[in-house]
A and B are shown apart, each in its own frame.
Chain A
Amino acid sequence: MFKPAGFAWLFVNEARILWRGSILVRTHKYVLGPVVVVGLMFQGIALILAAQIVRHPLPLGQMVLVANLNLFFFFVLMLSRAMTSAIDVLYGRGDVDFLLASPIPPGRVLAVRMLGVAGSVAVPWVLLGGVLANAMAIHGQPWALAIYPMLLAEGLVVAALAFALVVGLVGWTGPKLARRAGHMLALFMGVFIFALGQAPRFIPQAALGHFWQALLPVGSAPGVQHVFAKGLLGQPAALASSLAFSGVVFLLALVTLDARFASGAITAAAYRPGGTEARQGGEFRASPFAAVLMKNLRLLARFPGVVTQTVYRSLTLVPVVMILAGKLRIGSGTNVVAPLLVFLTGQLALFFISVMVVSDESPELAASAPVSSAFLKRGALVAAGYVTLVLMALPVIGVLARDAVLLPGLLLGMAGVLVCNLTLGLRLPIPLVRADFGKAQNGTMLGLILGVAVSSVWSLAVWLLVTPHPLAWVVPS
């Protein structure tokens, strides 16, 4: 279809590789149905939301503030993902040297990689934001469609920055720490968004009002510093300027990195003499089960992003701690803690067992050993269950100290969700990392959807169990 070795041909090849390594591939035929249903639900909600927005328009200043905040969130979340993607396409996939050895101009290879990353980080947000933009357009606000070019342009800036950052970080610290920096960014953003949502509970209304006031643009015509926000709000000149700026930043990064990429200096930076030091080994064990358990725990501890992803999931603990400490009251009181903890147990169990499955690079080694396959599965289940329970021990002790009557229901729910999600994750691990080049994706979206559903069902069951009149706070008698 395209001229071989040309830009479009290379881009199609890159898109194909990115797609085949993506999380949707393995179970797309099962996932398509739920995705369409969820998409339609989102579109329905967006239509209602858009009607409200149109009916109660915000002043321009507040619109600019909302646009700025959205652009900021998108930027940081995209950057985090772009950094890990940049590491994958420059150092992880292993085909850069092959392409550099081909007669294709290196600059074209780099440009395609950067564009691929830009697209892959922007598209999910474009799809999400597009739902609201479509609804706004249906309600007679076509300016909202500016989100499409604006987010794609933001993807270009993000990709440019991510490649520059990654090249610098890898040269300085190596790919592992650079990858960790990307994960930390995501964690920072997650905590920030969560804290922002919780802010009205801690910060006095007046202080919070001052904070937002300070962020509002001064005067009736927002200045040049708000050009991107105005672009997102569909102002033609601002939109054109934003797109031009993004293109220039992208080209600048490309031109800056091109010579180093062509010389192989960028990819060579990942090769370091010797490997990363691991903790001193040498604790030989006679029991195969102990050996399997220790191996699983080590692989879990060394899984990229395990800390950030665990913390991310454990943000549920913040309201739990506040409720137990008496600083926050939601619905029916401390009872709410039980379903929250059950949900968290389910999500952590699903995450840890998925890490075990995805990390097991050499299952055939154990298959050739004199141990049964059930034994190995048990090893993975026990390791994942053990880590989950260790993390959940402290909150459970908190419940015991604060409201011991919740404990039977809580423990029952935790045991149930643990068993269900560990079993589920063993068969359908959630997608955690992009598949290695040439390898199939282990994780499945179906596992993720079912896991969240299982956690929710158990949470609901426990809530009904521990709350005498579960709906009393919603429907006053």
Chain B
Amino acid sequence: MTEALRVRGLTKSFGRPVIGGLDLSIASGEFYALLGPNGVGKTTTLRMIAGVMRPDAGSISVFGRDVLADPLGAKAIMAWLPDEPLLYDRLSPMEYLEFVAGLWRVEPGLARQRAEELMETLGLWAHRNERCEGFSRGMKQKTVLAGALIHEPQFLLLDEPFTGLDAASSRLVKEILQARVRAGAAVILTTHMLDVAERLATRIGIISGGILLAEGDLEALQRQAGMHDGSLEDVFLQLTGA
């Protein structure tokens, strides 16, 4: 399998060290969940991989493209969904998708087709020409998800993607993401919903104190935590000492 993400020695500090020499590898077709307590640097890690924050040290490559040396080349195949929806309140979902598709240079005919499909699938079609300012958090989240998917990225970075989504939308988004993974894309997501991570992810990484404490499927995590059985929640609490 192709290596989708390769992070080596990633370091970042904001006065105090946040990430201290993180190594991470994700293969194409892999759904990776990055878990950790609040404030341990999950979001910072995703921001550095997305190319919106420069690390103090280390290297990041996405599908062989060096994020630090060739940020535009790497960004072209990535989509980053931060924990707060990056949306323009005074644009409609259709206009927002126009803008995002333009930024990623999606061919106009194809962009329109994908935009229509995504809005239909995500239940946004009836609201496509309404300004986002009146939308609920869930509606906004669906709009930015559509934006993240419109250029069919090979690598998706999702920071708490299920926040605000209702049960049906949440399931729908999971199916869309799994379909993308089956098609060869790679996904890294952060979430505090451990059951979601357990069900969706092919591999889980637990981060704390700026380093990766443990990594693997549930069985591997149980071994690393010195447990014979137990849920992901038990393993997580054991490893992070929470």
Inter-chain contacts of B127 with A (CB < 8 A): 274-275
Q: Please, what's the 1-or-0 string for B4-16, where 1 marks a CB less than 8 Å from any CB in chain A?
A: 0000000000000
Stretch among B31-39, B68-76, B177-185, B188-196 lining the A interface: B68-76
Q: Is B50 an interface position by the 8 A CB rule?
A: yes
Closest-by-CB residue of B relative to A301 is B90
Q: Is B201 an interface position by the 8 A CB rule?
A: no
Inter-chain contacts of B104 with A (CB < 8 A): 288, 369-370
Inter-chain contacts of A276 with B (CB < 8 A): 130-131, 133-134
Closest-by-CB residue of B relative to A279 is B129
Question: Is the Cβ of B91 less than 8 Å from the Cβ of A295?
Answer: yes
- Shortest CB distance A167–B (Å): 19
Inter-chain contacts of A368 with B (CB < 8 A): 50-52, 75, 78-80, 86
Within 108-126 of B, Cβ neighbours of A (below 8 Å) are at 108-109, 111-112, 115
Within 271-317 of A, Cβ neighbours of B (below 8 Å) are at 272, 274-288, 290-292, 294-295, 298-299, 302-303
Inter-chain contacts of A286 with B (CB < 8 A): 102, 105-108
Given known pairs A286-B102, A286-B107, the reply for A295 and B95 (CB within 8 Å) is yes
- Shortest CB distance B96–A (Å): 8
Question: Is the Cβ of B129 less than 8 Å from the Cβ of A278?
Answer: yes
Question: Is the Cβ of B103 less than 8 Å from the Cβ of A285?
Answer: no
Inter-chain contacts of A370 with B (CB < 8 A): 72-73, 75-76, 103-105
Question: Is the Cβ of A281 less than 8 Å from the Cβ of B95?
Answer: yes
Inter-chain contacts of B101 with A (CB < 8 A): 284, 291
Chain B contact patch, size range: 35 or more
- Shortest CB distance B72–A (Å): 4
Closest-by-CB residue of A relative to B50 is A368
CA distance A284 to B112 in the complex (A): 6
CA distance A274 to B139 in the complex (A): 11
Given known pairs A275-B135, A281-B129, A370-B72, the reply for A292 and B103 (CB within 8 Å) is yes
CA distance A294 to B50 in the complex (A): 25
CA distance A367 to B47 in the complex (A): 10
- Shortest CB distance B154–A (Å): 13
Question: Is the Cβ of A291 less than 8 Å from the Cβ of B131?
Answer: no
Question: Is the Cβ of B108 less than 8 Å from the Cβ of A272?
Answer: no
- Shortest CB distance B159–A (Å): 11
Question: Is the Cβ of A365 less than 8 Å from the Cβ of B134?
Answer: no
Stretch among A46-54, A323-331, A356-364 lining the B interface: A356-364
Q: Is A13 an interface position by the 8 A CB rule?
A: no
Q: Is B235 an interface position by the 8 A CB rule?
A: no
- Shortest CB distance A367–B (Å): 5
Q: Please, what's the 1-or-0 string for B28-57, where 1 marks a CB less than 8 Å from any CB in chain A?
A: 000000000000000000000011100000
CA distance A288 to B101 in the complex (A): 8
CA distance A284 to B118 in the complex (A): 15
- Shortest CB distance A34–B (Å): 33
Question: Is the Cβ of B86 less than 8 Å from the Cβ of A287?
Answer: no
CB < 8 Å: which of A272, A298, A303 contacts B134?
A: A272
Q: Is A259 an interface position by the 8 A CB rule?
A: no
Within 84-103 of B, Cβ neighbours of A (below 8 Å) are at 86-92, 94-95, 97-103
Within 332-380 of A, Cβ neighbours of B (below 8 Å) are at 359, 361-362, 364-372
CA distance A151 to B115 in the complex (A): 55
Question: Is the Cβ of B108 less than 8 Å from the Cβ of A278?
Answer: no
Question: Is the Cβ of A291 less than 8 Å from the Cβ of B86?
Answer: no
Question: Is the Cβ of A372 less than 8 Å from the Cβ of B72?
Answer: yes
Inter-chain contacts of B129 with A (CB < 8 A): 277-281
- Shortest CB distance B94–A (Å): 3
- Shortest CB distance B146–A (Å): 13
In the complex, besides A284-B102, A284-B108, 11 extra interface pairs with C-beta distance below 8 angstroms are A275-B130, A276-B130, A278-B90, A282-B98, A286-B102, A286-B107, A302-B90, A364-B52, A368-B50, A370-B75, A371-B72
Please give me the 7 A-B residue pairs with the lowest Cβ-Cβ distance, nearest first.
A291-B102, A281-B94, A275-B130, A275-B134, A362-B86, A369-B103, A370-B76
Interfacial residues, chain A to chain B (CB-CB below 8 A): 272, 274-288, 290-292, 294-295, 298-299, 302-303, 359, 361-362, 364-372
Could you show 9 A-B contacts with beta carbons less than 8 Å apart? Answer: A274-B134, A278-B130, A285-B108, A286-B102, A287-B102, A290-B102, A291-B98, A295-B91, A365-B86
